[in-house]
Amino acid sequence: MLSLTRSVGERLLLAGDGLPGIVVQVIRVAGDRVGLAIQAPPEVQIAREEIAYLFGPEIRALAGIAEQEATEGSRRWAS
């Protein structure tokens, strides 16, 4: 994992062979919270980790969520 320090207004540029370009910009810092703006093509899924079970298998795999947990999580939100 790469760890970086950025200031408000600074950006990270992500790209690779055959991958679409993604831009992540720090838009605000307030106490221990950081606001980010993410520019990515529509085919790129972006999810907060705590709701990753609502998304496709690629995002769930990144978050380490098993299919059973995804189903249980969906039930929690439905009730």
Task: Please tell me the predicted confidence (pLDDT) of residue 70.
Answer: 53
If you write DSSP's letter for every residue of 28-65 in order, what string do you get? EEETTEEEEEEE--TTS----GGGGGGS-HHHHHHHT-
Please write the tens of the pLDDT for every residue from 7-16: 999 999 999 8
User: Among 4-8, 23-27, 36-40, 69-73, which is the least confidently predicted range?
Assistant: 69-73
CB–CB of 11/23 below 8 Å? yes
Residues 45-67 pLDDT 10s = 888 877 777 777 777 787 776 65
Q: Which two tokens stand for residue 65?
A: 């969520």
Segment holding 11, helix H or strand E: strand 11-16
pTM for this predicted structure: 0.68
Closest CA to 70 of 49, 55, 44: 55
